[in-house]
Amino acid sequence: MDLVPVLQGTLPPIAAALLLVSLGGARLLPLAAGLGLLVAYGLLKRWPDPPTELWFAPNGTEWLLWCLAAAAVLALLEHFRLWRGRLAAGSAVLLGGLGAWLVLAKVAARWPLAETLLHVGLGGLVTAGLALLLRASLHRARPGLLPAIAVTVLLSADAALLVGFGGSALLGQLCGALAAAVGAGLGTALWRRPFALGPGDGTWLGIAHGLFLLAGVHLASLPWLVAVFAAAAPALLLVLPGRTK
Amino acid sequence: MKLHLLLPVLLAAFTVPATLDAPAPAGDHDWAVDTGHSSVVFRVKHANVANFYGVFNEIRGTVSLDPQAPEKGAVSLVIPVASVATRDGKRDDHLKGPDFFNAKENPDITFTSTKIGKKGDALEVTGDLELAGEKKPVTMTVQKTGEGDFYGPRVGYEATFTIKRSEFGMDYGVARNALGDEVTVMVGLELVKPKK
């Protein structure tokens, strides 16, 4: 295994999460993950083009990064109670749908309308649904380390599937970068308590889970069946112990 | 089936021109790429040890070239990334993925000439190479390899040029020299008269 790209992909999100979560608590985790992801991509490949340029020359992987950065901002706003309730859930759904459209923009340009509607529509619905599912699961789960451990395992499994079945080291490394950010944030619980994920984190984690699988299928060679099973995995979070009334 | 009956069938299969449906630009100096008798081979160093060779099984396009006035000519070539072949299906899939060609977003490699000039006996062709969504100028020396008549007039050219794949955003394995940055591309073209 080539260690250099693994370190390029994981060290920025780990460093960002250790620093920001130590300073400001778990509510800064989305910011750390978003920043770490963009820096990881910069080190692994190049600095992503800004959305103003991607609009005219789309690149699915780079749109994925910006969508996750936007999801991280939404989560951050929710953590600071500037964005909450139905507005927060609605914007998660909108961003999930928009993200699917943007990630598939370039490949969809060659599809007939029916195929575009099917793939973009289905991808958007699944991504938005995953954001809502993760939000609900993290809202329901008892605060503690267990949900964060489960999410770290989920994103690590996505990364392994993207490399093993999707044949894309880049997508796997980027997804692994998010897993590394959550794992490092989790590690700060050793010296800074409490560490708990909230519904706002469900927005960026659900969108990340959905968009990475969508990119794996449509930009790499992740088989549909594998993606469907992986997409359903967050349902297991519902079995985590709930909050006591 | 007896061999003397089978032989003409086999011979016909190997000798019938492959590009009967080539696109049809007009003019005496216009040619179409005979896909079945043209080749694209690439070479890259693996682990800084040995040269590895792969091919693209398909190339199509048009060439307009007046030997007396090459500067008025034009070359337009398209290589579908899906035709990459390295004798290993899994490796081919990896090459088509986002780590290399990103074929689902960029299904074709294209070359469009911007300048053609003479260089001794050969031609010097400059043009835009679009690969993995990045467009860069490249210049190549093109040698004429022959001409003749075989089910119609034909002419052959060969070009070899080297690119740095990292300049096209394909830097997988470059950092540790697992796979070289420089890729040498050899293109052998057999051109036929386009079908009117």
pLDDT tens string B88-110: 998 999 999 999 999 999 999 99
Domain range list for chain B: 10-192
What count of other Cβ atoms lies within 10 Å of the Cβ of residue A168? 27
Residue B139: predicted pLDDT: 95
Cβ contact A169–B99 (<8 Å): yes
**pLDDT tens-digit map of A178-234:** 999 999 999 999 988 788 899 999 999 999 999 999 999 999 999 999 999 999 999
A2 vs B98, B107, B176: nearest CB: B176
Q: How far apart are CA B84 and CA B154, in angstroms?
A: 26
**Percent of chain B having pLDDT more than 90?**
73
When pLDDT is averaged across residues A121-148 and rounded to a whole number, the result is 93
CA B19 to chain CA centroid, Å, is 15
Is residue B26 scored above 70 in pLDDT? no
Write out the CATH class of domain B10-192.
mainly beta
Residue in chain A closest to B105 (alpha carbons) equals A107
Q: By C-alpha distance, which of A206, A146, A200, A199 is closest to A178?
A: A206
Q: By C-alpha distance, which of B189, B132, B129 is closest to B157?
A: B189
Collapse the DSSP code of B146 into the 3-class scheme (helix H, G, I; strand E, B; otherwise coil) and give the result.
strand
Which bin fits B134, alpha (ψ -120 to 50), beta or left (φ > 0)? Answer: beta
The residue that leads in pLDDT, B150 or B2, is B150
- Does the interface ipTM go beyond 0.90? no
Nearest-CA distance A158 → chain B (Å): 16
Residue A98: predicted pLDDT: 97
If you search the block for the tokens 């894309």, which residue do you land on?
Answer: A168
CB < 8 Å from B in window 25-54 of A: 45-46
Cβ atoms of A116 and A108 within 8 Å: the answer is: yes
Residue A1's pLDDT band (boundaries 50, 70, 90)? low
When pLDDT is averaged across residues B153-170 and rounded to a whole number, the result is 94
Residue in chain B closest to A173 (alpha carbons) equals B99
Q: By C-alpha distance, which of B151, B112, B108, B154 is closest to B129?
A: B112
A110 interfacial to chain B (CB closer than 8 Å): yes
Cβ contact B99–A168 (<8 Å): yes
Give, in degrees to the nearest 5, the angle at Cα A235 between A231 and A237.
Answer: 120
Is residue B10 scored above 50 in pLDDT? no
Cβ contact A59–B178 (<8 Å): no
| CA atoms in the 13 A half-sphere facing the CB of B111 | 23
CA distances from A105 to A52, A70, A212, B96 (A): 14, 17, 15, 18
CB < 8 Å from B in window 149-178 of A: 166-171
